[in-house]
Structure 1
Amino acid sequence: MGYVKGLEVEGYRGLRKASLTDFAGINVFVGKNGSGKSSLLEALYIALKPFDGLKHVVKRRGWFGLASAEALFHGRDSEIKIRITLEDGSWEEVIIRRSAPTVGHIEALKAKGLDASKLYALSISAKGKVAGDATFYVDPSGKCLTLFEKGEGMVYGATFIDWNSVYSYGTPEEAYSTMVKEGGEEAKEAVIKTLQAEYEELRDIAVLRAYDEWVLHLTFKDGAVPYYVAGDGIRYALMYLMAVSTPKEAVLLMEEPELHAHPRLMKIVANSILHTHRERRNQVFLSTHSLELIEMLIEQAEKLGLKDQDLKIYRLALKNGVLYSKVYTLSEALDAVKKLEWDLRR
């Protein structure tokens, strides 16, 4: 599909207007809380996978019910516009609007036992190589029902990894199945070997039957442990490693991969990000608050001989809904960190 080279966003969450260009192979978003990092990752995901992306965004914030759908819009804006440009000059555009149920949809919802008056309606229209129209209905619990008008075109390879991916039952199992199906035993062995650098007693990872469910397990020297009761650090690391080891020529969107990570484990994650870009030709976008992770990425990138087009750091600031950014290429980031001892997060 080629790299995403530019992103324009209007009316999405805190972003009244945002425009970023000339993305690299690895793009690191840094900034204070509320500076738009997560919103940019979500906007990219929606642009690449309009229908699955919007459903994912509503789900990850769905605990707040109907307000989660309302909060997609900036202030009183009634329309969201997201547009990406790709390396070959093509583009994808997604428009999301506040909507109201049609007569046909009211009947379809009634057949499913749902009252349209108690649902929040969103219409979404995608143009470009991914094309289609749909209406989303969000219920008070945050669950999302999709009614398609039409859908066609290609599907871009894109994966979003965040706290919801780590904690939601089914997501780690799906990631494991995808890894084995697409990457084979080679990908699985690579993940195990990488984790063993920090967890020497780890022997295997596998989906096993437990409490009438198929659950991902980590097998150690003394027995198997269900993924969901393992430590937060190894869970985050495993999810990121499975995600970066499988795709090829895709886009990976990562929110704060440093969470719960010991510095040694963080180095493993940093190296896996660089590896997936170099060896799997994946483009990576990630948000972080960790100066250690930033420095690890920069230092390891230098050792690997990566160029300016391989890694960029975007320092973000949001003022009255308008996004501002200071961009550091790899060489500029190296100078800033090593010579000037700058904290690139500030």
Structure 2
Amino acid sequence: MLRSSLFALITLALPVTAHAQCGGGFSNFVSSLKEEAMTGGYDRATVNRFFKGVRQDPAILKADRAQGVFQKPFVEFSQRLISQGRLDRGRAMSKKYDAIFRRIETTYGIDRGVLLAFWAFETDYGAVQGNFNTLNALVTLAHDCRRPELFRPQVFAALELYSNGDFDPQKTTGAWAGEIGMVQMLPRDILENGVDADGDGHVRLKTSAPDALMSGAKMLSHLGWRPNEPWLQEVKIPADLDLSQTGAYRKKSVAQWQKLGVAPREGRLANPNMKAALLLPQGHKGPAFLAYPNFDVYFEWNQSFTYVLTAAYFGTRLSGADRYDAGNPDKGLSGSQMKQLQAKLQARGHDVGEIDGILGARTRQAVQQEQKRLGLPADAWPTPALLSRL
């Protein structure tokens, strides 16, 4: 049984020293982590064995700073990630693990396409799980001052997994950001949502597909997934639609969207009373989707709009949906042009977050506001024409 009360004490209740929060000398930072762990109830010998040989890994920091793939627009990004081979293998995996997917659907009400898509994108169905030492990754990112509040608690979660016999500080490997296993879960998520689905007495997310899939499903349920409801659906929009009503944060009932002329590309729309947002990832000339409440849960797993939309869309493909209509979107901006745009938007008083060349949620909102002000189609898709007007 997990010592959840002890883990909560360490991660939530203890005062945190300046060194433990982030920065400073790395050895001093590790010493601070050790002291906190022992104050929380772990014995010195366990703590010393756990942290023995831990080191700062420059490759981790380099990977954290170089996520350029998320600068690509949705159509290009999704076509790059979704190959026929991935579709075919996903369907094969659906058959191979039909029993566990049926169990997931019965227990959590989560469609198998959702888990298959995560499994495919995170590790190519378990084939590529990452070879970074997980403890080094977690401590390096906890020491770094960009996101210490995310990674510091993960160090103690890994210590708890170690004390339970489910983590090896020297041998456990995974992604550069500390995620472990076939669906890439952080240690704290494993503690809270890990499921021994194959009944061997351990949660083995690296080697057991049933454990990984059931744990991923429990995590999605914990994050708020609404059982047996859709998450994304491709639609067609009328030419006279008020585009300023589109976007992830502008939700209407399905009935209201229907009244405005939004129609499904195939099948039928969801319950008329269900709320949904109309997403135009590359503007009104590109693909269009209705995003239902479950779509929001994806952002608890990953913060990239492009990644999330692609994962959600791939889930629909694996569940039988047709390939989207790519349309003929207006030309977008290069990475350097996007940074110029973000700087101009920031100068106009918009909060776009970090000027990173990535079309994130806040940049989209600012773009839409400026498009509306300038009398352009307010579809949140930045073009060279908008950049020129600004």
| TM-score between both structures, scaled by the size of structure 1 | 0.31
Higher strand share goes to which structure?
1
Higher helix share goes to which structure?
2
Larger relative contact order, structure 1 or 2 (CA cutoff 8 Å, min sep 6): 1
| TM-score between both structures, scaled by the size of structure 2 | 0.29
